[in-house]
Amino acid sequence: MYNVRINLEYCKGCGLCVGVCAKHGLYISDKLSPLGIRPAAVRPEVQCTQCRNCCTICPDAAIEIVVKPQVHGETSLAMLSEREKP
The footprint of ligand SF4 (CB under 6 A) covers 4, 6, 11-17, 20-21, 23, 25-26, 39-40, 46, 48-54, 57-58, 60, 62-63, 65
**For residues 66 and 77, which CB has a smaller minimum distance to ligand SF4 in the complex?**
66
**For residues 3 and 76, which CB has a smaller minimum distance to ligand SF4 in the complex?**
3
Using an 8 Å Cβ cutoff, are 13 and 40 in contact?
yes
**For residues 1 and 77, which CB has a smaller minimum distance to ligand SF4 in the complex?**
1
Using an 8 Å Cβ cutoff, are 68 and 3 in contact?
yes
Q: Distance between CA atoms of 59 and 63, rounded to whole angstroms?
A: 10
Selection from 44, 65, 56, 60 nearest residue 2 by Cα: 65
Q: How far is the CB of 36 from ligand SF4 (least distance, A)?
A: 14
